[in-house]
Amino acid sequence: MEGGEKPELIVNGKRLDGRDFGELRSLKIEAEVLKNADGSAYVEWGNNKIIAAVYGPKEALPKHISDPDRAIIKCRYSMAPFSSLEEHGRTGPNRRATEISKVTKEVFENVILLDRFPGSEIDIFIEVLQSDGGTRAAGITAAAVALVNAGIPMSDVPYAVSAGKVGDKIILDLNKIEDNYSDADIPIAISPRTGNVLLLQMDGSLTKEEFKQAFNMAKEAGKTISELQKSALVDPYRKLAEKYKV
């Protein structure tokens, strides 16, 4: 939350960017955008621009961190110094980036079939090039696509989105100004096949009823996000098929 006077976030029943309460920002996902990574994805989510890159499975190094029974995941979320005009300089490995890296790692520990790769590591890098609220959710959504693109076996392809509260209204997919001045913000990551909740954080407070509404809104939006993830993953193959006219 930031100091200063709180702006009106809802005017005449619409949000400042014209969205309805349950409306997602525009979302574009592209897979296989980096030549040197085993898997990658690029996401434009509203004004967020994020790249995810995956390397591995490869031998876990240094040796003492390796697990003889399963692969370990290393995850680094990072904001580029130019990703946000207002708070540039507060980038790099700070407390926030460390926290987001940790919760993102935990999301994927619950879906990647780690026991298939004993002694290995899988590296996930999330680089935020431009940020406008909801970057952890966008980063998880991008990383899920990058992992599939790298051929890493998972029980599911998770997605993430945030929901929150402004006054007595529940809203979906908060942008930065909404994130800063809302009464609550809850990033949620879900495994769509099982419905398992892989990440749930909360800044602010909600009643039980409000929480249910926010959660259901995020779940409903997940159908759209999952579809975009799938079609991003199929696209490189579609392009290959077109190129070779198969």
Question: Which residues touch 182 (CB under 8 Å, ≥6 apart)?
Answer: 9, 164, 165, 166, 171, 174, 204
User: Is 190 in contact with 144 (CB distance < 8 Å)?
Assistant: no
What counts of helices (H) and strands (E) characterise the chain?
Answer: 4, 12
User: Is 22 in contact with 171 (CB distance < 8 Å)?
Assistant: yes
| Least distance to ligand CDP, CB of residue 139, Å | 8
**Applying CB under 6 A, which of residues 38, 136, 184, 211 lies at the interface with ligand CDP?**
136
| Least distance to ligand CDP, CB of residue 19, Å | 16
Residue 144 sits at the vertex; the CA angle it makes with 140 and 150, to the nearest 5 degrees, is: 140
Q: Rounded to an integer, what distance in angstroms lies between the CA atom of residue 30 and that of residue 25?
A: 16
87 binds ligand CDP (CB under 6 A): yes
178 binds ligand CDP (CB under 6 A): no
| Least distance to ligand CDP, CB of residue 2, Å | 9
96 binds ligand CDP (CB under 6 A): yes
Question: Residue 123's closest CA among 145, 96, 147?
Answer: 147
| Least distance to ligand CDP, CB of residue 90, Å | 4
First to last CA, the chain: 53
| Least distance to ligand CDP, CB of residue 66, Å | 30
**Applying CB under 6 A, which of residues 39, 134, 164, 222 lies at the interface with ligand CDP?**
134
Contacts with ligand CDP by CB under 6 A: the residue count is 14
46 binds ligand CDP (CB under 6 A): no
According to CB under 6 A, which residues from 10 to 39 bind ligand CDP?
none
131 binds ligand CDP (CB under 6 A): yes
The residue among 40 and 84 lying less far from ligand CDP, judged by its C-beta, is 84
| Least distance to ligand CDP, CB of residue 108, Å | 16
Reading the block at residue 165, the tokens are: 């509260």
Q: Rounded to an integer, what distance in angstroms lies between the CA atom of residue 114 and that of residue 116?
A: 5
Quick one: which segment of 32-40, 52-60, 118-126, 132-140 binds ligand CDP (CB under 6 A)?
Answer: 132-140
Q: For residues 79, 216, 211 and 186, what is the CA-based torsion angle, rounded to 10 degrees? A: 0
DSSP state for residue 46 in the 8-state scheme: T
132 binds ligand CDP (CB under 6 A): yes
**Applying CB under 6 A, which of residues 38, 45, 46, 84 lies at the interface with ligand CDP?**
84
Quick one: which segment of 33-41, 85-93, 143-151, 217-225 binds ligand CDP (CB under 6 A)?
Answer: 85-93
Q: Rounded to an integer, what distance in angstroms lies between the CA atom of residue 95 and that of residue 84?
A: 17
Binding-site ranges for ligand CDP (CB under 6 A): 84, 86-87, 90, 96, 131-136, 176, 179, 187
